[in-house]
Amino acid sequence: MLEDNFALSDNNQITVIGLSSPRLENLALDLKEKIQTSDLVVGPKRILDDPWIASLGIAMKYYDDGFESAIDAIATSPGQVVVLASGDPGFFGILRKIRSTNNKRKITVFPAPSSISLAFARLSLPWDDAVVVSSLGRPIENCIRAIYSHKKVAVLTSPGATPSDIANLLVSSTNPIQKERLSKTSFFVLSNLGDISERVEQVALEELANRDFPPLSILISLDRDTDSMEKVSKWANELQSDSLHFGKDEASYLHRNGMITKGEVRAVVLSKLKLGKRGVFWDVGSGSGSIAIEVSKLSPSLSVFAIEKDFDSASRIERNSQLHKASVTVINGEAPLALGKMPDPNWAFVGGGGVEVFNQVYSRLDKNGVIVATFTALERAVLAAEIVGNMVEINVSRGQVLENGTWHLSANNPVFIVWGSKDT
């Protein structure tokens, strides 16, 4: 597509210009000329209200109400179209949408520094080790998971997930591990970067929850020891050595008295889930959190929730998530009551609670969603299988070397796996 795109005529092209400030007086002369000779200018109202653009008498299209109406205007307008955007249009910006609907037109991009790079520059910090999350059109839970799971996080906030919205969710946590993590975290809000009204503030979490900030701000959470070079080197080495596979050994997880889904069973469960790249996953009756953690590692973009009624087990899930560098939101509560305010799942695993909980989770499953459950009792497995249509028995015998050097097969208890989709 790139070769075709760049081979097209300059007379019908789209020029995307990134701006480091809504003020256009310092814009390069060649970029001003592109605006002056365009047939349509598209951009946020705060930029298009610039008196210089207004004086040109060129057709304009705002996209403050979302990209969609602007994308339609760009796609249907012939001639020279100029799109003005903040920062780098290719970084959580409008460029991806433009390319997806204009693959037969030449597109030229002139980026400015992204708002994220400006934010970290204001704090005099490197950001190649940061996790960047956008809240625009995405679940706010993604932001929460990132802050709990990573040492250095930058969140592009939005009207639906303002800095105070995020802070209120963080403050409401009753999990002692999460609260301890937050006590060691500093928060910064950077607003209107590049403008005369620019503000850079370090804000305590409780204050952050009770203040109003411009919705399109950058919220940075920073572990107070983040910039130790020893720690940065350690993280880099850990990331390089981290492995992704089905059914990790049970010894790699903290668990109570063998209460953990065995690796071989876990591998089959994960294969039956048929995970996608986007959506919500529930692990109900999570135990050690092994299923939720491996789902998070296999599909990092999913919003992963582990629901566990036992407080000590929920705490172990938190520790296991940290050990495996997985983004898992832990809910300490009992199903089905704990499921009430959670987003409906696209995928779900039920490891505890019996048929009643299975039915409750199935009723919340999104259309075409997939549910998998394990049972130790055949009669319960049959009741669930009658709803979703699939069941298999897993018998695992592990080889062990005896004292005399011969091998012996040690059998685990059989497990029944039930699975199916909502349209079954």
Instruction: Please report the domains of the chain, with CATH numbers, ordered by start residue.
Output: 2-113 (3.40.1010.10), 117-226 (3.30.950.10), 250-421 (3.40.50.150)
Query: For the whole prediction, is pTM greater than 0.75?
Result: no
**Residue 116 DSSP class:** H
CA trace torsion 401, 402, 407, 408 (10° rounding): -110
How many Cβ atoms sit within 10 Å of the Cβ of residue 126? 13
d(CA 77, CA 397): 66
Residue 110 is predicted with a pLDDT of 94
Cα 74 from chain centroid? 29
Is the per-residue pLDDT at 416 higher than 60? yes
**Alpha helix segments (H runs only) across 172-253:** 176-183, 205-209, 229-241
CB-neighbour burial class of residue 238 (10 A; exposed 0-12, middle 13-18, buried 19+): exposed
Of residues 288, 247, 295, 289, the one with CA closest to residue 273: 295
Residue 21 is predicted with a pLDDT of 74
Query: CA angle, corner 298, sides to 180 and 312, nearest 5?
Result: 35
Average pLDDT over the chain, rounded to whole?
A: 84
pLDDT band with cut points at 50, 70 and 90 for residue 232: very low
CB-neighbour burial class of residue 125 (10 A; exposed 0-12, middle 13-18, buried 19+): middle
Q: Would you state the structure tokens that stand for residue 105, as one six-digit string?
A: 């037109």
Give the chain's count of helices (H) and strands (E). 17, 19
User: Which of 131-145, 201-215, 242-256, 278-292 bottoms out in mean pLDDT, i.e. has the lowest?
Assistant: 242-256
Is the per-residue pLDDT at 166 higher than 80? yes
Return the amino acid letter for 424. Answer: T
Return the amino acid letter for 205. Answer: L
pLDDT band with cut points at 50, 70 and 90 for residue 5: very low
Residue 9 is predicted with a pLDDT of 54
Mean pLDDT calculated for residue range 44-64: 82
d(CA 356, CA 363): 11
Residue 391 is predicted with a pLDDT of 96
CA trace torsion 363, 369, 375, 381 (10° rounding): 70
**Residue 399 DSSP class:** E
Residue 245 is predicted with a pLDDT of 62
